[in-house]
């Protein structure tokens, strides 16, 4: 065999090996592939070994795991994008961390040149808009969860309009603090005061809850005592009425005697312990004071 023929066979064999080797590609679990055939892209999502036509088809692999980036914070500290202004005109350094993943590999590759950069710009816009609608206290303390939820929803709505093949998974506030140490210390004092206020309110509520049953029991006891006194006075009044009625009945029958008896009773009240004995001309005596009970009852 001629030398030229051998070289030709070797070259053909090498080309064949290259073509055969370039006809297969593999996809891992965390990847998806985009196969472009003469300019027409198509997603391949099944992991494993796949075939492609050499030269005619090209393959680009896309990572579909959750990835993220910081907004406002760099390895050297806070950047200018961390500076925010609140609705009450206070400046703050606010750092966020955004997480996203690819949902459509074809759009992620061909709908934009840099989908992550677009997401970053959208996030910065939504963050500044939202932070600007809240007061400084909400951003630093009580409103973080609400702010994060509003920012996330705003970003999702805008990403849906852009349709670039990626989806926001989550965005969180990493840190929020005033730009100077003096202001930061002042806000910490305010937060400490708020916590002290909450503690005092909780203690007051606890004391109130402890005292209410005791006060209610005292009220019930007072009402019971008042009811008992009322009943006692009613009984006394009824007794006085019965005594008056008995006296009146005697007066109707014996007015003169009754008048004298009433006089003697008055004297007995005025001069307690006084004893009056009357002796008649025939030597008989009768005791006037103390009197027997007018109603026949013992005094």
What is the domain extent for residue 85?
67-179
Looking at the structure of the chain, the number of domains it has is 3
Query: C-alpha distances in angstroms, 38 versus 49, 58, 170?
Result: 21, 9, 37
- Position 281 in a domain: no
Amino acid 93: pLDDT: 87
Collapsing DSSP to helix, strand or coil, 283 comes out as coil
Claim to verify: residue 148 and residue 85 sit in the same structural domain? yes
- What separation, in Å, do the N-terminal and C-terminal C-alpha atoms of the chain show? 159
Evaluate whether 87 touches 131 at the Cβ level (below 8 Å). Answer: no
H/E stretch holding 94: strand 91-102
Residues 83 and 140 in one domain: yes
CA distances from 71 to 44, 153, 162 (A): 32, 17, 20
Q: What is the pLDDT of residue 147?
A: 94
Say what the pLDDT of residue 15 is: 57
pLDDT at position 294 is 46
> Same domain for 74 and 160?
yes
The span from the CA of 245 to the CA of 242, in Å, is: 5
Phi/psi at 159 (nearest 5 deg)? -65, -35
How far apart (Å, rounded) are the C-alpha atoms in residues 86 and 35?
48
pLDDT of amino acid 295: 45
| Percent of the chain that is helix, strand, coil (3-state, to 5) | 55, 25, 20
Tokens at 51, concatenated: 């075939």
CA distance 246 to 254: 12
Q: Which one-letter DSSP state was computed for residue 254?
A: -
pLDDT attached to residue 261: 75
> Is 88 in the same domain as 169?
yes
- 102: number of Cβ within 10 Å: 23
Given a cut of 70, the residues of the chain with pLDDT beneath it are 1-22, 74-79, 179-187, 268, 270-299
Q: Check whether residue 206 and residue 225 sit in a common domain.
A: yes
Cα gap 165→102, rounded to integer Å: 6
One domain, residues 31 and 96 = no
Q: Tell me: do 58 and 107 sit in the same domain.
A: no
């Amino acid at each position: 065999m001629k030398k030229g023929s051998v070289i030709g066979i070797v070259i053909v064999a090498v080309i064949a090996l290259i073509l055969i080797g370039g006809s297969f590609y593999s996809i891992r679990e965390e990847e998806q592939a985009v196969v472009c055939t003469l300019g027409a892209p198509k997603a391949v999502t099944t992991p494993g070994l796949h075939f492609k036509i050499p030269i005619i088809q090209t393959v680009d692999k896309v990572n579909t795991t959750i990835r993220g980036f910081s907004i406002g914070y760099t390895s050297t500290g806070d950047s200018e994008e961390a500076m925010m202004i609140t609705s009450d005109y206070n400046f703050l350094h606010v750092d966020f961390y955004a997480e996203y993943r690819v949902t459509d590999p074809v759009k992620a590759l061909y709908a934009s040149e840099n989908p992550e950069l677009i997401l970053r710009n959208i996030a910065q816009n939504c963050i500044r808009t939202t932070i600007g609608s809240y007061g400084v206290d909400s951003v630093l303390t009580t409103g973080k969860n609400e702010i994060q939820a509003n920012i996330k929803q705003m970003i999702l709505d805008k990403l849906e309009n852009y349709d670039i093949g990626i989806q926001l998974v989550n965005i969180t506030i990493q840190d929020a603090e005033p730009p100077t140490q003096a202001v930061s210390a002042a806000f910490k004092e305010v937060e400490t005061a708020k916590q002290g206020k909450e503690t005092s309110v909780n203690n007051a509520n606890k004391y109130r809850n402890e005292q209410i049953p005791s006060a209610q029991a005292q009220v019930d006891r007072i009402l019971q005592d008042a009811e008992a006194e009322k009943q006692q006075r009613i009984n006394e009044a009824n007794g006085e009425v019965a005594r008056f009625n008995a006296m009146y009945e005697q007066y109707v029958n014996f007015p003169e005697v009754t008048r004298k008896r009433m006089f003697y009773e008055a004297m007995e009240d005025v001069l307690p312990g006084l004893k009056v004995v009357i002796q008649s001309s025939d030597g008989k005596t009768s005791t006037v004071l103390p009197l027997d009970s007018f109603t026949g009852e013992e005094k």
